[in-house]
């Protein structure tokens, strides 16, 4: 089973993402159906609106990313300048600390020993020059074959070498809108025939399990989206006040990256730091940005996350950690994103299965 999940990860991840998106959009479809629209047309309308919103967000992100790309040559210079400045400050601090901690007599002895060593080196060099034979005439260096390096940037080179992987991902991603539409428009047909597979009491258990997974997925995704949106708005406002460039894209990136389990804080700090390289010189400014982002992160995860998300998932910290390790090992970054809803779905199945209810209580809070 684990081998199937690993080698078929691209297909399985595409299918799971489509299912979760369909669960999220189902209430919106029901809202349009209350306006006496057919399910097929309502599903098409909802999917179209979702694609328009996704396209608008991608267009905004592209416009901001294009400006960042134009300033990429300046980033290397800024990083070198800041690194050199930090090294100078560190060396000055070390010298000050050494002067404070080392007695004056010891410093004088060390300085005298260095002067004597330097004088001995100079005398040895003069003796060698006096005794060395005359140098032979210099010959021109041999002509070496010059190899023309590739003019492609590292990013383009990486994409060129791994184009087949990106092609497979884009191919599978192109199926997601169609899968979501068919899952929404044919929902009644799929659910009815899926429940007909079970008999007797098993049919009721299967219906309750399916409904529990759908409610959990909607609560988890909607709760994370609301929390990420709040973090994005607050971060955008803060970055605008402190004049961080490209705050329209840096704020949402920092806000939503902050929700990644366990590694969200360092991921949330990276975008504003990269954007601030072109305007900030003082290390204290970066400390202010990092401290503020960390404050937003801790406030959201400790106060808001338990109310918006944690109360609906009902997973204990051990189950969450093991789920993150397992799904992250199998599927990488996308596994970390899907780890909690998948683990919560497994718990929902165990809760409604009489023989597996003990495992559900073991994973629960």
pLDDT digit string (tens) for 16-57?
888 888 888 888 888 888 888 888 888 899 888 888 888 887
Give the span between the Cα atoms of 328 and 334, in whole angstroms. Answer: 7
Tell me the residue length of the chain: 365
Among candidates 179, 176, 183, 246, which has minimal Cα distance to 210?
183
pLDDT band at 144 (very low <50, low <70, confident <90, very high): low
| Whether the Cβ atoms of residue 324 and residue 336 lie closer than 8 Å to each other | yes
Identity of the highest mean pLDDT range in 5-19, 30-44, 55-69, 96-110: 30-44
Give the span between the Cα atoms of 26 and 43, in whole angstroms. Answer: 8
Q: Residue 151: pLDDT above 80? A: no
Q: Residue 270: pLDDT above 80? A: yes
This model's pTM is above 0.85: no
Per-residue DSSP letter, 263: T
Task: Specify the pLDDT at position 185.
Answer: 86
Task: Specify the pLDDT at position 139.
Answer: 56
Q: What angle do CA 185, 187, 190 make, to 5 degrees?
A: 125
Average pLDDT (139-165) is 57
CB-count burial class (<10 Å; 0-12, 13-18, 19+) for 335:
buried
CB-count burial class (<10 Å; 0-12, 13-18, 19+) for 297:
buried
Q: Residue 346: pLDDT above 70? A: yes
Give the span between the Cα atoms of 32 and 25, in whole angstroms. Answer: 11
Task: Specify the pLDDT at position 132.
Answer: 58
Q: What angle do CA 265, 270, 272 make, to 5 degrees?
A: 110
| Whether the Cβ atoms of residue 232 and residue 256 lie closer than 8 Å to each other | yes
Task: Specify the pLDDT at position 195.
Answer: 80
pLDDT band at 356 (very low <50, low <70, confident <90, very high): confident
CA distances from 252 to 25, 162, 230, 237, 268 (A): 22, 28, 9, 11, 10
Give the span between the Cα atoms of 221 and 20, in whole angstroms. Answer: 8
Q: What is the mean pLDDT of the chain?
A: 77
Q: Tell me what percent of the residues of the chain surpass a pLDDT of 90.
A: 0
Average pLDDT (217-236) is 84
Identity of the highest mean pLDDT range in 141-145, 217-221, 278-282, 344-348: 344-348
Comparing 15-29, 68-82, 85-99, the range with the smallest average pLDDT is 68-82
């Amino acid at each position: 089973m684990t081998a199937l999940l690993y080698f078929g990860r691209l297909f399985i991840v595409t299918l799971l993402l489509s299912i979760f998106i369909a669960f999220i959009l189902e209430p919106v479809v029901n809202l349009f159906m209350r306006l006496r629209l057919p399910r097929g047309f309502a599903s098409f309308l909802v999917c179209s609106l979702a694609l328009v919103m996704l396209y608008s967000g991608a267009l905004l992100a592209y416009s901001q990313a294009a400006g960042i790309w134009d300033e990429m040559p300046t980033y290397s210079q800024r990083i070198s300048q800041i690194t050199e400045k930090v090294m100078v400050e560190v060396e000055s601090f070390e010298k000050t600390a050494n002067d404070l901690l080392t007695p004056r007599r010891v410093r004088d002895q060390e300085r005298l020993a260095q002067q004597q060593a330097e004088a001995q080196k100079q005398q040895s060099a003069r003796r060698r020059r006096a005794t060395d034979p005359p140098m032979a005439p210099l010959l021109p260096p041999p002509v070496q074959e010059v190899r023309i390096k590739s003019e492609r940037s590292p990013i383009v080179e990486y994409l060129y070498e791994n184009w087949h992987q990106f092609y497979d991902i884009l191919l599978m991603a192109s199926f997601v809108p169609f899968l979501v539409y068919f899952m929404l428009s044919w929902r009644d047909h799929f659910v009815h025939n899926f429940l007909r597979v079970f008999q007797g009491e098993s049919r009721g258990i299967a219906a309750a399990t399916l409904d529990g997974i759908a409610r959990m997925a909607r609560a988890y995704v909607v709760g994370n989206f609301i929390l990420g949106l709040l973090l994005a708005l607050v971060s955008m406002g803060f970055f605008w006040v402190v004049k961080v460039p490209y705050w329209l894209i840096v704020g949402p990136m920092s806000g939503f990256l902050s929700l990644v389990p366990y590694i969200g804080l360092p991921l949330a700090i990276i975008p504003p730091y990269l954007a601030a390289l072109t305007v900030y010189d003082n290390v204290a400014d970066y400390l202010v940005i990092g401290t503020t982002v960390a404050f937003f992160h801790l406030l959201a995860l400790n106060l808001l996350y338990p109310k918006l998300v944690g109360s609906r998932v009902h997973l204990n910290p051990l189950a969450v950690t093991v789920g993150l390790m397992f799904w992250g090992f199998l599927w990488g970054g996308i596994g970390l994103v899907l780890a909690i809803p998948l683990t919560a779905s497994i718990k929902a199945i165990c809760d409604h299965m009489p023989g597996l209810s003990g495992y559900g209580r073991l994973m629960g809070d």
